Amino acid sequence: MSPTILASRAMFIAISIIALLGLINSPTALLLGFLFALFFKHPFSNHNELCIEYLLKVAVIGLGFGMFIEETLQTTGQGFTLTLLTILLTVALGTLLAKALKVDRKLGHLITSGTAICGGSAIAAISPVIQARGKTISMALGIVFLLNSIALFVFPSIGHLLEMSQRDFGLWCAVAIHDTSSVVGAALGYGEEALEVATTVKLSRTLWIIPLSIYSIIAFKVKGGKVTIPYFILFFILAIVANSYGVISESLSSNIVVISKRLLVLTLFLVGSALSIEQLRKTGLKPMILAMTLWVFISIFSLIYILY
């Protein structure tokens, strides 16, 4: 094994351990991941995507052990109208903009779906439904991951500048940031209430993958299209129930939540390490304009709705 590969593995493992020990926060983890991708070759690239997917699900389920049923239902109800409005408007605007910019129809739909609901998860769920090619999927994911990274740094600063309450900030994150990992990462440093609101609303938003998948099958006239159901949300709900009724001790619940938060920080490092400048260059300007326009729209619209 060459010294370069050994060095990259050692660095990767060292940062991962630092993240798990809770010695860095979410933005730092993402930044370290991005810097790692710039200067080192990813030593575990074949497993990175799968690790992100499973670590995120485990971490989100773990956060459920710090929540209670009554508060969760109240938060979900408060975010319903805004969730519905932003999804409908984003999908409509994305469809029109993709046509106007002459972006490939499937690429435009994946970018729109990722912006409207939950980033990479929505793209992964909708891709097989519309039978998108690997290159199209990679381009959509690359753009969404880039915007997620920007949001993780920008949103907390805006939240503090506008003196947003933790509840309002958590709701804004859940609606306007694409991926669940970045939503939770941004809310993690803002406060406990922001984290709970952001996680709850984002996961309820994820369920909209099901009607969007059905719409995609009809819009693209796909025969035999399969709808993906995000089953891990059921385990998140079970965790909330277990915590609400004292199925496990309070100390164990607290420890699970702490571990889950650290797993989320590790996940963000993995997300950063997967970013590819070369891939973004190949994407082209028009898809980037589409993604940026949709993101700015959903961010401003939801912010005005929440504040006023």
Contact status, residue 54 vs residue 22, Cβ threshold 8 Å:
no
Write out the H or E segment, with its range, that includes residue 196.
helix 192-206
The pLDDT score that the predictor gives to residue 230 is 77
The pLDDT score that the predictor gives to residue 300 is 96
pLDDT tens, N- to C-terminus, the chain (308 residues): 577 788 899 999 999 999 999 999 998 998 999 899 888 888 888 888 888 888 989 998 999 999 999 888 888 888 899 999 999 999 999 999 999 999 999 999 999 999 998 888 888 888 888 888 878 887 888 888 889 889 999 999 999 999 999 999 999 999 999 888 889 999 988 999 999 999 999 988 888 988 998 899 888 887 766 677 778 888 999 999 999 998 999 999 999 999 999 998 999 999 888 877 777 777 788 999 999 999 999 999 999 999 98
The pLDDT score that the predictor gives to residue 253 is 94
Could you give the angle at the alpha carbon of 32 between the alpha carbons of 29 and 34, nearest 5°?
110
Query: Measured between alpha carbons, how far is 279 from 305 in angstroms, rounded to an integer?
Result: 35
The H helix count followed by the E strand count for the chain is 15, 0
Q: Where are the domains of the chain?
A: 3-307
Contact status, residue 67 vs residue 240, Cβ threshold 8 Å:
yes
The CA distances from residue 72 to 69, 92, 138, 199, 283, in Å, are: 5, 29, 34, 10, 39
The pLDDT score that the predictor gives to residue 229 is 73
Contact status, residue 196 vs residue 75, Cβ threshold 8 Å:
yes
Joined together, the tokens standing for residue 303 give: 């912010």
The pLDDT score that the predictor gives to residue 76 is 83
Joined together, the tokens standing for residue 162 give: 């506008």
Query: Measured between alpha carbons, how far is 308 from 304 in angstroms, rounded to an integer?
Result: 6
Query: Measured between alpha carbons, how far is 53 from 121 in angstroms, rounded to an integer?
Result: 9
Closest CA to 40 of 16, 3, 13, 4: 4
- Contacts for 301-304 with beta carbons within 8 Å, 24 or more apart? 301/85, 301/86, 301/89, 302/82, 302/86, 302/171, 302/172, 302/175, 302/176, 303/172, 303/176
DSSP state of 269: H
Joined together, the tokens standing for residue 1 give: 């094994």
Instruction: Please give the torsion angle defined by the CA atoms of residues 64, 13, 121 and 239, in that order, rounded to the nearest 10 degrees.
Output: -10
Joined together, the tokens standing for residue 146 give: 């880039």
Contact status, residue 144 vs residue 291, Cβ threshold 8 Å:
yes
The pLDDT score that the predictor gives to residue 120 is 82
